[in-house]
Chains A and B, each alone.
Chain A
């Protein structure tokens, strides 16, 4: 079950003698629960600290200990941070997968491995570096039970020596990783040094891969999308959070809990300016969010596919009763339990129409950790402005992996709390009708419980209601209300985050993508032009319902490739619903759905093949 295999018909094979500087991918294959995550993050961070653009992707099993896990680190002087299919440098620590991992490599790749695995017998076109991990770890670590954990730090030292990672940066990264646990940091640092010493004395470097200091990460940060989204929620002033644990979403609320405890305790009373509840299931989680949103709080939940399914009834309720809510969907591979620790853009269609009847929801598509942060804030404003549940469609790749980014900027706009009437407004107006379209934008006015005025109250119900929120089954009342809801939805098109469009003169075609696929696309654009002479305009969709600009982009290009990470072309399907008959025939679909983050090579191959150029 190797995660690596060289693309068939790959365009260019680099001759194996050319030095590759700051352009390589390292894959570490270990066993889950062996402490390898620390060693991998240290390596990632050290390369980052050397100023080299870097990305790390953890490909892990749904398991706590004992199953295979892979971590890939890509260093790219050109700044490409999407997953790369090809592996240049394998660290083979897992006996279970080692043989297959080695078989999947391209010629000229290097393999650092645990000596006793005897991997050098498998291939004669690779470079092998055997390391006696057991012999190295024993003197370092008298406590046998710690050896399993410390062992992995040794490969950081070996890699540092072979590839040229600066030891001072590794030490800094080790200290950062273990923070206040000085003893652990010392022990781990000794392990790195032992690995380095060993490589220095016993290994002859014969591979062509090098890392050298550059200056492309100055001032940048490394953060996971879920932590970024949590920060966004905190700065959006969220007050009520309800969630149910599910991979890959849990770390969003867990990060939020720690940020809120740090920054949202009232300085005078020491009390919390928030309430966070671990609910009994996702239905309850959204129920609490709607109860809180109804009562005027900024409320949110976070979940993944199975939770989205469970939330369906309440999502439709929230749409029809018009209650603000923010729902993060950190998408993972379905259907059903699927591959719970792998990534997918798999819930686009189900979230768009989640629930029965004529229900539609706005969705935001963050592509970066910056957007996880900024769209979190945006989502709360939109939810309150439009009085409706808003879905933020992140994914496992974005949410759980570490991404390089510019530091986040402090929000410049005040919170936008929407059309809420207080007691003075009610006194002046002499009352209000909850579902009346006063402003012609389909967005009615609301009051919150506790408003001290006899005209404040109204009755919220999922059954048919008229403008005054009274029960009705009258056909005209029903139609009137549904048409207003549609007007409101249509009004969002130009208010939601606009698409980011990069036009290209004399383009052969257009590419349309969203979310975490973005990073593969920017690399694909370069590959297409460099390798095939193909030019493409690019539209990155950032929200549903689509802006008119998206449809105009499609109009301008002879063909448009819709790239996404699912089998059924979910955004492609949504676009087809809204594209004119002349334009709909231009849409082509590129689909990546093996659970691994999308890579540029796969996209480039699919497009060139569909263009008849392969």
Chain B
């Protein structure tokens, strides 16, 4: 546990870069009261505040749907981009390539990702773009009044009694298979786990994909739904107990190496994974896929960090892009000199 002493009654609550929590807040939510998405926005606000990230360094991106409205509800002082349906990954890719110093947070939904946007999702995962990709997953299309989405479980029931008879897309299994380097699942109602996962995702170098079960209180929170608060609370099984230690906190944490795995992230932050039920290695792809598959057969909602791979080059590094933002390189660095044109012309004569 942390051994640092708390400072004595500060006049105002501030984070390590001297900003107050209010700076990290967003506009007033227009989502339904009790919507899981609002809880996720709250955790994002906490995460960025606690990490002491400058809001102007953050780019918030989303697609279309209830989920994708939420970037308006956190970090008002960060640029936001509400794109077209299912196409947030490409916009995020362009933005990050234009300015590699941005911290990109993409918020999507289950329809936005697993149906209309599955193509872009797949290719984003392959590229290992440095981005935090959050799926606010409620198994239905809330904004169009509750139709099933592609993450709805087999046998799950709509309010009107219609039963889903198609198998779900497991976005986590897919992401792991495709090459994402940080993949986890959480629950909007699990404050501690979600916060730790978000903080670690922000510190990760590469694509961090989090599928967050986030119940739709209006259309998918009833008896018979597998994405309701009650169902998830009854069936949640966490892989690990997560502790996030940010890079700027010089604290020693005691743990038992036999039951706890430590992962050091790109920025020096650490993630401590205390195994709960099974012996689990989060750096093993096969184990991750097996655990996810098994959770389906046991009808469990398995949460936690499934897979992490540190040290792989992200997409920007792979493209060997200069360290400064491409967007603001001066003309002298992006327009070759007259001699360059003359050389090309000479070749064409």
Contact = CB atoms under 8 A, between A and B. Distances in A.
Contact of B82 (A274, A285, A289, A459): A459
A512 to B, nearest CB: 32
B331 A272 contact: no
A471 B70 CA distance: 13
Contacts of B123: 279-280, 284
Interface in A212-241: 219-223, 231, 234-240
B140 interface: no
Interface in A46-66: none
Interface size class of A (residues with CB under 8 A): 35 or more
A489 interface: no
A411 B335 contact: yes
Interface in A133-184: none
A42 B86 CA distance: 49
Nearest to A314: B84
Nearest to A264: B336
Contacts of B61: 291
B345 A454 contact: no
A313 interface: yes
B118 to A, nearest CB: 11
Interface of B: 23, 54-57, 59, 61, 71-72, 76-84, 87, 89-99, 101-102, 119-120, 122-123, 316, 319-323, 325-329, 331, 333-336, 338, 340-341, 344-345, 348-349
B76 to A, nearest CB: 7
A559 B177 CA distance: 65
Contacts of A411: 335
Contact of B333 (A266, A276, A410): A266
A586 to B, nearest CB: 42
Contacts of B102: 295, 449-450
Nearest to B340: A263
A458 B327 CA distance: 18
Given A235-B335, A291-B95, A458 B79 contact: yes
Interface string A445-469: 0011111111011111111000000
A505 B59 CA distance: 60
B329 A273 contact: yes
Chain A CB count within 10 A is highest, among B23, B80, B101, B102, for: B80
A292 B95 contact: yes
B98 A297 contact: yes
Nearest to A280: B123
B329 A239 contact: yes
Nearest to A268: B322
Given A272-B319, A280-B123, A222 B348 contact: yes
B101 A450 contact: yes
A450 B58 CA distance: 7
Contacts of B90: 242, 279, 283-288, 291
B10 to A, nearest CB: 21
A450 B325 contact: yes
B103 to A, nearest CB: 10
B328 to A, nearest CB: 6
Contacts of B82: 459-463
A507 interface: no
22 contacts: A239-B334, A240-B98, A270-B320, A273-B329, A274-B334, A276-B319, A279-B90, A284-B90, A287-B91, A290-B91, A290-B94, A291-B91, A291-B92, A291-B95, A292-B327, A294-B94, A295-B98, A313-B87, A415-B334, A448-B327, A461-B82, A471-B72
Interface string A240-273: 1010000000000000000100011010011111
Contact of A221 (B120, B334, B349): B349
Given A280-B123, A462-B83, 11 more contacts: A221-B345, A263-B340, A269-B322, A269-B323, A275-B321, A280-B119, A284-B87, A288-B91, A450-B99, A454-B77, A457-B78
Contacts of A335: none
A290 B89 CA distance: 12
A327 B347 CA distance: 27
Given A239-B327, A240-B326, A289-B94, A284 B120 contact: yes
A414 interface: yes
Contacts of A222: 348
Contacts of A264: 334, 336
Contact of B81 (A220, A238, A291): A291
Contacts of A407: 345, 348-349
Which 7 A-B residue pairings sit nearest by Cβ, starting from the closest?
A: A291-B94, A287-B90, A296-B327, A237-B334, A297-B98, A295-B98, A292-B94
Contacts of B94: 240, 242, 287-295, 297, 299
B23 A295 contact: no
Contacts of A266: 322, 333
Contact of B79 (A269, A284, A456): A456
Contacts of A410: 338, 341
A457 B84 contact: no
